[in-house]
Chains A and B, each alone.
Chain A
Amino acid sequence: MISNSIPKQLRLSVTESINFNWEQSGGLLLFSTQRPILEKTKRLSIKNSSINQLKWNSLILSSTRKFYSQSHGIFLSLQKLSAKLKLEKKQKQSTILNLQLNLNLNERLNKFQSDLVLISRQYRAVLTEYLVSLSQKSKTDPNLVDEANLIGLAVMLWHLCEIIFIDQTVYVTAREPLSNWYLYHFSMNNNSLRQNIFQTNNSRNDKKNKKIQKQNKLMKKQNLNKIDLIQVLQSALVGDFEQVFFFIEQELSEIKKSPNMNKSLIRIIKFIRSELSSCPRDFEISNLSGSVDKLKKWQRECQQKIERLPEFNISYDNSISLLIKNWKELLLIFAGDFDVIRQYSQNWIEFLIANVLWVNPSLTIKELPLLVEQCRKEFINTEDTPTNEIIMMILKNSPIKVIRMIETLIASPWLSAHLIDLLYHSKIIDSQKITYNGLDLREHYLIEFCQRLINCNDMFITTSSYLKQCKTVGRSYIELFLKREKIDSDNYAKKLINICTKNDLYKSAARIKNTRAIQLLQTNNNVQALIWLISIDPIRRKNVLINRTVDKILKNANDLSDLEILVNSISSVINEKNSSYQSDLFNYLSKYSKITHLFEKGQLQKGAKIIVNLIETRTLPKQFWLTILNDIAKLISLQDEIIFDKHGTFVIMNFLEQITTFKHQSETLLSIHNSQIQKIRFLLVKNLGKSLIY
């Protein structure tokens, strides 16, 4: 792999390769490298020392974060609602004879259904808000155009899913919701979505369009140049009366302005306008059959009007003849004439909408799939856009296929995740029956979305909230993502530990505390580091590191106040966490602190008793033997009263013997000089005498 002995200036063909590295955000860093790797290879050009950063779907704006936060709130409320209903169902099962409870449960189920509709609309509202924000920003930043189009698509698809899958109770027939959906998303003004849906390779339509365009050209010559009659027909086809009236008004005003004002033309156009106004457009859900009858009646009237229309008469002005001809076509559309509808439909979706409006107005949503098949067959030679394919799957009531197609064709993890979650809670799909690599489908998509979400700054808590809903692997992913969180403050560490505790991730909590401790040790914040280390669960505590840290602290401690800070800090941690930290060192430090306080208060004998206790229980760490001996010497020599009683004096004398015997065996004890020992021995003898006498 490595060679250091290639002759100079030899023209070699070395394989130039690309090396890579994954970024945590899922992007790739790529750079030019060579195989084999040779030392001292000078770059030939700047490009050889450049790094390429490849990212997928990296758009994260402030509005994106807001969108994610809002949709997260809706997501959580859906989980709560669903959990509440599950609980109530369980209660029902346990008290099956309680009829009152059953009645309440039925009401509850109905309420839940309407809550689902509300939630779906809330999702749509936040999507729309995000879309508006992106559209505005894309006017100055062309990089946002694609994202804006994607969100527009998401809004449209979500709306359709809401109609077909969620909103079943409200819409009995498909007529109103579908036509509203179509008009809202595909009106003449919504160009990008129209382009998406109309990018069809339709050779049959091309021929027809050419014929119609020829007719249009003719009309233009005949002073019907403003109104595009084809557009009028196509608008009428999909029930876009607003557009139809708009065209009519526009044409009327143009004709009135023209110097050769054709009064007959004006009369005919006004006549058409009044006839169109009488078309029953709104369907009342409470009186569905009445509404259908009304429409059918109007359609019969249209039929009669068609029959009464004069034939194409050569004596008429050409423009009038053409207008009458097109009015006839319009009436045929309204009357539900299959052939005319087919003639003017540009694709199967338009054809479907027209069918639902004019041919089968009482068609229910459940009956839609059959009609979709029929409409699609009429356009069998056309190639569908990915969007059309998804729309077809939605209309055919195939939710799983819809989700899969959204994943592959649109690649919007947000959409896949939230949609499948909503469908799961609506019982439209049983995601557990379909698995992907051992995960149920809902979890799979939620995790795909979380992998995107975690890459936004400060979205870990939101991501973990989503992952908590993934019962199988959510915890593992939280653990994984925790490892990549940059812990740069105590507050953030505490936040993450809180999440760990809520999710029973005790190992991760210990890791975070350890990480924070090591960071603090590296910046010489030893006391703070020790506090973190002690707060770790005893089974996960690394005592070696703790002892080392305490040693460091003691080495750097200037006076007793430093030790007091240490002792107080440790005590507070123990009290707060109800944790345990047993060590001779801590025991000594806390007692020594007490001793000092007692001495300050003048309670010398009490302090002396604690010293004796420390020595007797053999809990005095070696590195403090000298300190204690010095303190003992001071106490005895400076005070006239007896501080240590005879028992205490004997204990200390034994202790001194131990030091003398084993001094040479310990480096720590070597620092205690023989002269010091002699001095203390003398003082102890004096003290013993006093204590025996008094």
Chain B
Amino acid sequence: MLLRTNETIENKTLKNFLTSHQYLIHDLQIDPTGTILVSSSSDNCLKFYSNKDSTWKETFTLELEENTNIWKLAWSPSTFGSVIAGVTFQNEVVIISQTFENGKLQWKQQTTVCSLPDSIQKISFSPDELGLVLGVADSSGILHIYHAEDPSQPDTWQKHSEIIVANTCLRAFDWGLQPNYPVMIITAAINRSVKIWKFCEEGLKWESVFNLGIELEVYDIVWSNFVGRDFHLIAISTEEALEIWKIEKLKNNSYQNIEKERIAYFTQINDSIWKLGWNETGNVLASTSNKGIVKLWKSNLLGNWSCISTITGNDDDDDDELELEIEN
């Protein structure tokens, strides 16, 4: 894939490295320290890469158990060492982590957290304030939350809690955190409800605190890191547009009358954004759409958001259509 960008300031570098996956890469994720990369594919393997001199080099291949083709990955917070959750095509969530064997740390497939009847839409680890906790959203509209009792040995997982969001598919969710407040979750179901929930220690329950009032179908939601600002930033991609919401930070332990404002709205014409991602400091948003266009969004000093960069694939590629070989 050849990339082009449209930036006027030509001070970027583009490197390409090959993986030895035999099939298309389904997902890749970097650990929170930025030193280990993992990729998954349908070749029943996870490949690990380490970062040396700003270049990724493949260091290890983990062959998974049979029928464990992972299409989605998530890393735990670095507090718990290297723990990865993966979603298989059989709607299972598996845990891969490092164990100490023969005098060194080795990657190993540890256990299956859950096996759900409905297809899994998204997984994500919570901030470490809650412990080693994993959220799993499925198409029945439930957000299942699991936790590992012993974070040093993540081979035993139990159901922590769950949120019954809707009767329809729960497309997306994300965790939100403000220091000295309970962990929050924002969920987006196909029935057009976008809600924020807070965690109640008593009864291990989640309570809906407010609704964003979005009337469109949502494809993805991401909550930026709260770095001491006076507000939270949430980016939402809907069937029509990319929206960025500003929500005032919580004060005096009150969840009432929280001010919220949509500060950016970008219409998507004949295209839809299926994935969003904030950078580490929450000031640049990346999006990718069905047309294969990656865009970066940032606000200027006046607070106006705009697209600062567009990355597209090579249009000269003859292989617009892929011939598929599917093994049933």
CA distance A524 to B153 in the complex (A): 11
B312 neighbours in A (Cβ, 8 Å): 18
Contact of B313 among A8, A25, A32 (CB under 8 A): A32
Contact of A24 among B30, B151, B328 (CB under 8 A): B30
A23 neighbours in B (Cβ, 8 Å): 30, 34
A157 → B minimal CB distance (Å)? 16
Contact A44 B323 (CB under 8 A): yes
Interface centre among B18, B26, B39, B119 (most CB of A within 10 A): B26
Contact B289 A53 (CB under 8 A): no
Contact of A21 among B20, B30, B152 (CB under 8 A): B30
CA distance A4 to B27 in the complex (A): 18
B226 neighbours in A (Cβ, 8 Å): 476
One digit per residue, 1 when the CB lies within 8 angstroms of any chain A CB and 0 when it does not, for chain B 267-288 equals 0000000110111110110101
A26 neighbours in B (Cβ, 8 Å): 279-280, 284
Contact A40 B311 (CB under 8 A): no
Contact A31 B79 (CB under 8 A): no
B104 → A minimal CB distance (Å)? 9
B228 neighbours in A (Cβ, 8 Å): 472-477
B87 → A minimal CB distance (Å)? 9
Contact B100 A524 (CB under 8 A): yes
CA distance A19 to B293 in the complex (A): 9
Contact A545 B151 (CB under 8 A): yes
Chain A residue at minimum C-beta to C-beta distance from B312: A18
Is A17 interfacial (CB-CB < 8 Å)? yes
One digit per residue, 1 when the CB lies within 8 angstroms of any chain A CB and 0 when it does not, for chain B 17-35 equals 1111111111111101111
A412 → B minimal CB distance (Å)? 9
One digit per residue, 1 when the CB lies within 8 angstroms of any chain A CB and 0 when it does not, for chain B 69-110 equals 101000001111100000001000000001110000100000
A426 → B minimal CB distance (Å)? 21
B125 → A minimal CB distance (Å)? 13
Known contacts A28-B286, A30-B311, A60-B54; A49/B19 CB under 8 A: yes
Chain B residue at minimum C-beta to C-beta distance from A486: B33
Contact B326 A38 (CB under 8 A): yes
B1 neighbours in A (Cβ, 8 Å): 18, 30-32, 47-48, 50, 52
Contact B326 A55 (CB under 8 A): no
Contact B33 A484 (CB under 8 A): yes
Is B212 interfacial (CB-CB < 8 Å)? no
Contact of B324 among A31, A38, A523 (CB under 8 A): A38
Q: Which stretch from A100-108, A250-258, A512-520 is at the chain B interface?
A: A512-520
CA distance A543 to B88 in the complex (A): 35
Contact B274 A17 (CB under 8 A): yes
Contact B150 A548 (CB under 8 A): yes
Known contacts A18-B1, A21-B28, A21-B29; A43/B279 CB under 8 A: no
B311 neighbours in A (Cβ, 8 Å): 18, 28, 30, 54
CA distance A23 to B35 in the complex (A): 9
Chain B residue at minimum C-beta to C-beta distance from A60: B54
A53 → B minimal CB distance (Å)? 5
Contact A20 B275 (CB under 8 A): yes
Contact A483 B78 (CB under 8 A): yes
Contact B128 A4 (CB under 8 A): no
CA distance A170 to B39 in the complex (A): 61
Is A278 interfacial (CB-CB < 8 Å)? no
CA distance A523 to B289 in the complex (A): 43
Is B231 interfacial (CB-CB < 8 Å)? yes
Contact of A44 among B319, B327, B328 (CB under 8 A): B319
Chain A residue at minimum C-beta to C-beta distance from B227: A476
CA distance A533 to B79 in the complex (A): 13
Is A141 interfacial (CB-CB < 8 Å)? no
Is B252 interfacial (CB-CB < 8 Å)? no
B28 → A minimal CB distance (Å)? 6
Chain B residue at minimum C-beta to C-beta distance from A518: B152
Contact A58 B326 (CB under 8 A): no
Contact B301 A523 (CB under 8 A): no
Contact of B11 among A7, A57, A480 (CB under 8 A): A57
A44 neighbours in B (Cβ, 8 Å): 319, 322-323
B298 → A minimal CB distance (Å)? 11
CA distance A529 to B229 in the complex (A): 35
A686 → B minimal CB distance (Å)? 47
CA distance A474 to B229 in the complex (A): 11
Known contacts A55-B54, A473-B228; A518/B322 CB under 8 A: no
Interface size on A, residues (CB 8 A): 94
CA distance A48 to B313 in the complex (A): 12
Contact B288 A49 (CB under 8 A): no
A511 neighbours in B (Cβ, 8 Å): 79, 128
Is A51 interfacial (CB-CB < 8 Å)? yes
Is A76 interfacial (CB-CB < 8 Å)? no
Is A42 interfacial (CB-CB < 8 Å)? yes
Contacting residues of chain A (5-37) with chain B, CB-CB under 8 angstroms: 5-26, 28-35, 37
One digit per residue, 1 when the CB lies within 8 angstroms of any chain A CB and 0 when it does not, for chain B 60-71 equals 000000000101
Contact B28 A14 (CB under 8 A): no
Is A692 interfacial (CB-CB < 8 Å)? no
CA distance A31 to B19 in the complex (A): 11
Interface centre among B79, B105, B229, B288 (most CB of A within 10 A): B79
Contact of A522 among B18, B29, B105, B231 (CB under 8 A): B105
Contact A12 B324 (CB under 8 A): yes
CA distance A24 to B37 in the complex (A): 11
Is A521 interfacial (CB-CB < 8 Å)? yes
Is A146 interfacial (CB-CB < 8 Å)? yes
Chain B residue at minimum C-beta to C-beta distance from A54: B14
Is A539 interfacial (CB-CB < 8 Å)? no
Contact A20 B301 (CB under 8 A): no
Contact A53 B56 (CB under 8 A): yes
Is A338 interfacial (CB-CB < 8 Å)? no
Known contacts A12-B322, A21-B277; A49/B32 CB under 8 A: no
A483 neighbours in B (Cβ, 8 Å): 32, 77-78
B225 neighbours in A (Cβ, 8 Å): 480
Is A64 interfacial (CB-CB < 8 Å)? no
B35 neighbours in A (Cβ, 8 Å): 486
Contact B25 A20 (CB under 8 A): no
Is B12 interfacial (CB-CB < 8 Å)? yes
Known contacts A473-B227, A480-B281, A483-B77; A29/B320 CB under 8 A: no
Contact of B119 among A1, A150, A441 (CB under 8 A): A1
A323 → B minimal CB distance (Å)? 46
Is B10 interfacial (CB-CB < 8 Å)? yes
Is A404 interfacial (CB-CB < 8 Å)? yes
Contact A52 B16 (CB under 8 A): yes
A295 → B minimal CB distance (Å)? 43
A147 neighbours in B (Cβ, 8 Å): 11
Is A436 interfacial (CB-CB < 8 Å)? yes
CA distance A56 to B24 in the complex (A): 27
CA distance A44 to B15 in the complex (A): 21
Is B256 interfacial (CB-CB < 8 Å)? no
Contact of A29 among B30, B121, B292, B325 (CB under 8 A): B30
A11 neighbours in B (Cβ, 8 Å): 321, 323
Contact B81 A32 (CB under 8 A): no
A26 → B minimal CB distance (Å)? 6
A51-B39, A484-B32, A517-B152 given; 6 more Cβ-contact pairs under 8 Å: A32-B25, A42-B23, A48-B24, A53-B56, A54-B5, A483-B77
Q: List 25 A-B contacts (CB under 8 A).
A: A13-B322, A17-B291, A24-B32, A30-B294, A30-B311, A32-B1, A38-B324, A38-B326, A41-B325, A46-B18, A51-B56, A53-B56, A54-B3, A55-B13, A55-B15, A150-B11, A477-B227, A480-B280, A511-B128, A515-B79, A521-B153, A522-B152, A523-B100, A545-B150, A545-B152
Which residues in A have some Cβ–Cβ distance to B below 8 Å? 1-2, 4-26, 28-35, 37-58, 60, 146-147, 150, 404, 411, 434, 436-439, 441, 447, 451, 472-477, 480, 483-486, 507, 511, 514-515, 517-519, 521-524, 529, 545, 548
Minimum-distance CB pairs A-B, first 8: A476-B228, A24-B34, A473-B228, A521-B152, A486-B33, A49-B21, A476-B227, A53-B15
